[in-house]
Amino acid sequence: MTDTLNEVAKKHLYIDGKWQEAASYEPLYSPYNGAQIAEVAEASEDETRQAIAAAAQAAPIMRDLPAHKRAAILEQLAHLLQERSEEAARLIALEGSKPLKAARGEVARTIETYKFSAEEAKRIHGETVPLDAAATGEGKIAYTIKEPVGVVGAITPFNFPMNLVAHKVGPALAAGNTVVLKPAEQTPLSSLLLAQLLEEAGLPAGALNVVTGDGKTVGDVIVTDDRVKALSFTGSPGVGISIRSRSGLKKVTLELGSNSGLIIDRDTNIDGMIERAVSGAFGNQGQVCISVQRIYVHEEIFDTFVQKFVEATGKLKLGDPLSEDTDVAAMIAPKEQKRALEWIGEAIEQGAKVACGNELQDGLLLPTVLLNVDPEARIACREAFAPVVMINVVKDMDEAVAAVNHSDYGLQAGIYTSRLDTAFRAIGQLEVGGVIVNDIPSFRVDQMPYGGVKQSGIGREGVKYALEDMLETKLVVFNQSS
């Protein structure tokens, strides 16, 4: 696993602390220029079961590993990743077409996430229970302890191939669990680097197993195998609903995306936030679960906001994700670009106006701004996951809140306003998992609770909060009178 990024290397499975050859391999290509990057193992059902068996066998070892040792392993992982941070960033840019400066930001956040995980490993505890609050509890003492669930299945997407893995692997290991990790087919290389670093950090063999390949083949085994006790999945609502229905009695955390809304009140300082809004709309080509997809602007400042937003969008630089100054690169796959163009075309047919974009430049979809989009158009009511944003005019904040809520999703929403009453009314009325006041809905730091309502999923990420679904509570009662 010491090959350079320029070599077309064969990437094996990582099972039970060993690099294991697979029965078959598939080529991996750059989304930006189509060049072959690697040959990646395509795990079979049997190979996936081997990984689960290794995790199950290692579960008692991790269960007995003291908290300070689990924390030390995660701290060492953060240190090793810091040493190889530039390599990791270039790997993310290469396999996922994420602009290099954004990839560096992801690596920095990933390091923080593992540091948070190390800290939380030392904070796992139960509580005393006042049994004598009930008459039959007199003479008895009770307390709870937290224990790892065992094997955690982690299924991750392409858009944050290192940090979203960290949000599953970090809490799982902090809790004393073992992990079977299935990374996205397009972005497996950063997960294989993680396996290498954790091995170097001293993680026991079998505590992390990385199985690459087809989502259905590998994922179905992880979802249905009874040895897997908890699942953490980030992806589409359709797949998430299917996972929940087939997972039996496993604990399940699902982060299923959104079409996040941003509200702009009449008193907003546009110059102070416009670049932030543009970056939220087009960062990583809009392929972010909390990307700014829908913007609702008060009619008094609508024209000015649109003008400044389009001007700022025009300053973005498109190009090679490995270039230092690139802001927007290729979408993850040509079929996704085609889908985005179809949705834009549909919105135009239904009366939307194109303020900029809606064309290709050197094979890349230009950042696109649509005005006054029909709320039933797919670009408005589904997750675009593309460099496309709609801006609609509203008469007041109540109309804006209603427009944001007119969605099957509810992950995060943002509102810019200088009025406390408006902010608190929005906080109370917005049907989302997180309300960001005077910032964009794309805001996230890695220790905060992160998750949504409606079709945006169930459960919460953020290390402390993710741990809750990776632990079991055991009650202990002492009868002092016997």
Spatial distance between the Cα atoms of 482 and 471, rounded to a whole number of angstroms: 31
Q: Which of 327, 367, 370 is nearest to 347 (CA)?
A: 370
**Residue 14 dihedral angles phi and psi, to the nearest 5°:** -115, 105
What single-letter amino acid sits at 56? A
Choice among 289, 336, 383, 461 that is catalytic: 289
267 contact partners, CB below 8 Å, separation of at least 6: 417, 418, 419
Q: What residue spans of 142-226 are helical by DSSP H?
A: 163-174, 189-201, 215-224
Q: Which two tokens stand for residue 367?
A: 């950042």
Write the Ramachandran bin of 139: left for phi over 0, alpha for psi from -120 to 50, otherwise beta: left
Query: What is the 3 state secondary structure string of 106-143?
Result: HHHHHHHHHHHHHHHHCCCCCCEECHHHCHHHCCEEEE
Query: Does residue 289 have an active-site annotation?
Result: yes
Phi, psi of 210 (to 5 degrees): -115, 115
H or E element: which one contains 105?
helix 100-121
**Nearest to residue 371, comparing CAs of 317, 417, 416, 306?**
306
Which residue carries 């941003």 as its tokens?
262
For the record, the structure tokens of 198 come out as: 């954790």
Q: At what angle do helices 85-96 and 100-121 cross, to 10 degrees?
A: 120
Angle between helices 397-405 and 420-429 (to 10 degrees): 20
Q: Which residue among the candidates 47, 255, 383, 461 is catalytic per the annotation? A: 255
Helix axes 67-83, 85-96, angle to 10 degrees: 80
φ, ψ of residue 214 to 5 degrees: the values are: -60, 130
Helix %, strand %, coil % of the chain (to 5): 40, 25, 35
Q: Point out which residues pair with 356 in neighbouring strands.
A: 369
Q: Which amino acid is at 125?
A: H
The residue type of 311 is E
| Cα 363 to Cα 35, 56, 98, 333, 446, distances in angstroms | 15, 46, 16, 11, 34
- Residues with a catalytic annotation lie at 255, 289
